[in-house]
Amino acid sequence: MLLFVEILKLLAEIALLCLAGQWVLGLLAGKRRDENLFYQLFQVLTRPLIAGARLISPRVVLDQHLPLVAFLLLTFVWIAATFTKIDICVRMGVHLCK
């Protein structure tokens, strides 16, 4: 169970960093961000996350806000995985969690 929680937490961290990296690079690149190779790589990596956010969110949410929705959902997943990992480690003993 601990391994599953750690994998879920790691995947959420990677996805959060991809979304944050895409946002920062979009700010730095400006209007020419679609020509940037690394921005395109971030778009490929985050496309499934944004599509999942579209499935979960109501139609009222604009498409330009979907990355924020995906980021917030992943943040909640990361927080839940962190608390679950802490709970498992406290129950089984912190020295066994290292």
The Cα–Cα gap between 73 and 55 comes to: 12
42 band by pLDDT with thresholds 50, 70 and 90: very high
Predicted confidence at residue 95, as pLDDT, reads 87
The Cα–Cα gap between 61 and 53 comes to: 10
The Cα–Cα gap between 26 and 18 comes to: 12
Domain ranges of the chain: 2-96
User: What is the tens place of the pLDDT at every residue in 45-58?
Assistant: 999 999 999 999 99
pTM of the predicted protein model? 0.88
Predicted confidence at residue 38, as pLDDT, reads 94
